[in-house]
Amino acid sequence: MANDFPSRPPPPLLDDACALFLDVDGTLIEFADRPDAVTLLPQVREAIGRISDRLEGAVALVSGRPLEQLDALFAPLHLPASGLHGHQLRDAGGTLHDTVEDQDTTEWLHAVHQQAMRFAHGHPGVLVEDKGPSMALHWRGAPHAAADVRAFADRHVRGNAHYRLQPGDHVVEFVPVGSDKGRAVRRMMQYLPFRGRLPVFIGDDLTDEHGFEAANGLHGWSVLVGEREPSVAVFQLSDIRSVHAWLRENAW
């Protein structure tokens, strides 16, 4: 059978003028039924630390997870990072650039969260993840509920000008309008040690397309993990193990 996916080359090795942006789930770690059930291999953490040293700190995590989860996963590394799809940002100096919350919006999301909990109670296996200013509905543990979860999310976001839906791998998230991984990359590139470097963004999911577009627009590299189409990525790595191998090559 012919392969319906376009052929992309693997990314070249990093040079010392690059800045590396890494998605986490589906790129560095395997998915799990629960977001708190994942682990990062120590050798991958070590490779990322070595690359960060080599690039003078120009390595950042760009994830849908909140910063506190990223710090727990990557400890003792304390990397520049963007959490919640660009809603949170911590630069290399440790300064936080959070977006100020609107009280009416916060109350709206709290009400939707209560309704989502009731919905999940009637759909065993569906997980509601409270992320503070955002919320995720996971159905990896209940694949048969995918259509119902999407319908619930569509119905409840309709008419709200401050939130949008971000689909992902067995998940849909309510995220603030204006927050995405591309915006996070562009913001991070304004700060040292990223400023003036060539951005390299690696990710697997629909949420990472914004990051790919940002890297491409800044004349950098975009690297898709796996076979998901369509994608604007220029390079490709076949799976998480290939990402780990590429990181190890770049760490020495």
> Hey, what are 241's tokens?
């193990």
Tokens 């770690």 belong to residue: 29
* CA distances to 148, 159, 163, 229 from 154, in Å: 10, 10, 11, 23
- Give dist(CA 42, CA 248) in Å, integer: 12
> Which among 23, 91, 180, 204 is annotated as catalytic?
23
How many angstroms separate the CA atoms of 185 and 162, rounded? 21
Distance CA 2, CA 39 (A): 36
User: What DSSP designation does 96 have?
Assistant: B
Residue 46: name the closest of 83, 1, 5, 77 by CA.
Answer: 77
> Which CA distances in Å does 42 have to 82, 83, 86, 88, 241?
22, 22, 26, 26, 14
Whether 169 sits among the annotated catalytic residues: the reply is no
The rounded distance, in Å, linking the Cα atoms of 131 and 193 is 29
Residue 20's identity, in one-letter code, is L
Cα–Cα distance measured from residue 160 to residue 236, given in angstroms and rounded to the nearest whole number: 36
Instruction: Indicate the residue type of 223.
Output: V
Catalytic center residues: 23
